[in-house]
Amino acid sequence: MLEQTGFVEVQIGPGWDTFGGARGEDNARAFEVYGYPFLARRSG
């Protein structure tokens, strides 16, 4: 989606266990939900 909206050089960093130990942990585990850092540059 980033590339479709005019961004290039998209990078994704390592994930964090964002919900581990929180009330939302079970749902996060069920769908393998993690937090990630993203970096991209606006084209043009």
Binding site for other proteins (CB under 8 A): 1-2, 4-7, 11, 13, 16, 18-19, 21-24, 27, 30-44
Report the C-alpha gap between 18 and 27 in whole angstroms: 12
Within 13 Å of residue 17, how many CA atoms lie on the same side as its CB?
6
Within 13 Å of residue 6, how many CA atoms lie on the same side as its CB?
3
